[in-house]
């Protein structure tokens, strides 16, 4: 990545390397995903008061009632989305602070990300600009609607939990594509939907904990 965010102390490269070692121990074995996680400085995406915890395996608050997912969850969802192959065009539903977006930017040729909270997106847009990610496009929009104007996507990743996937998003998944998302309300699980020429298949995986997916857009 272009920007220099090497950091010192708890935000140093050494701390990031320890995070990668922990991810390996937790079962993340896609070396491309691990390299992407190593390339993106997580401390840049958390609130300054929490920077000492940036590389802990925990979700952290980022204001606006949102959270940055734990490193393991970001790595796990990225690994599931990639499934061992280079991604062409990816849609992220829920830009949040931009951490997952920056990781996806290491894994895909094109990344489109939508965020419903305008003020949050403004902050994230400014932060991501430092990294000069010319193949990333951010949009203030209702994630439940996706981005039909640039569909289909060979990967869709959702950063909020839903009890059912909106049909509009399913339609925007390319044949051969994969969607990774948390499903449920009280009890949540990571799920993968794969689309083939005959329809869709869904696989339920790990337990998860995400904020709920909401419709509509807000300015702040």
Summarised one tens digit per residue, pLDDT across range 46-104 is 988 898 899 999 999 988 888 999 999 999 999 999 999 989 999 999 999 999 999 99
pLDDT at res. 217: 86
- Catalytic residue flag (residue 134): no
Distance CA 220, CA 207 (A): 30
User: Two tokens at 187?
Assistant: 């009890």
Which among 51, 69, 78, 113 is annotated as catalytic?
69
Please tell me the predicted confidence (pLDDT) of residue 11: 54
As a whole number of angstroms, the distance between CA 156 and CA 143 comes to 11
132-179 residue pLDDT tens: 999 999 999 999 999 999 999 999 999 989 999 999 999 999 999 999
User: What pLDDT shows up at residue 125?
Assistant: 96
Band of residue 203 on the pLDDT scale cut at 50, 70, 90: very high
Residue 215 predicted with pLDDT over 90: no
Q: Which domains does the chain have, with CATH numbers?
A: 9-208 (3.40.50.150)
Closest alpha carbon to 19 in 3, 43, 46: 43
DSSP 156: E
Mean pLDDT score of the chain, rounded to an integer? 91
* pLDDT surpassing 90 at residue 188: yes
Strands 60-61 and 199-208: unpaired
């Amino acid at each position: 990545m272009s920007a220099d965010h090497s950091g010192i102390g708890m935000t140093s490269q050494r701390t990031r390397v320890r995070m990668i070692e922990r991810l390996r121990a937790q079962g993340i074995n896609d070396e491309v995903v691990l390299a992407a996680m190593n390339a993106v400085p997580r401390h840049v995406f958390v609130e300054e008061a929490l920077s000492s915890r940036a590389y802990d395996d925990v979700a952290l608050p980022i204001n606006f009632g949102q959270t940055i997912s734990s490193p393991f969850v970001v790595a796990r969802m990225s690994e599931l989305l990639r499934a061992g192959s280079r991604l062409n065009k990816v849609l992220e539903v829920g830009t949040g602070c931009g951490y997952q977006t920056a990781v996806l930017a290491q894994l895909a040729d094109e990344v489109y990300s939508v965020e419903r909270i305008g003020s949050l997106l403004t902050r994230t847009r400014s932060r991501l600009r430092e990294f000069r990610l010319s193949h990333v496009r951010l949009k203030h929009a209702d994630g439940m609607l996706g981005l039909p104007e640039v569909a289909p996507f060979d990967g869709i990743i959702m950063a909020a939990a839903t009890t059912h996937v909106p049909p509009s998003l399913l339609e925007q998944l390319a044949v051969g594509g994969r969607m990774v998302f948390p499903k449920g309300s009280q009890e949540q699980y990571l799920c993968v939907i794969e689309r083939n020429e005959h329809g869709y298949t869904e696989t339920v995986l790990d337990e998860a904990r995400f904020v709920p997916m909401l419709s509509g857009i807000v300015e702040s």
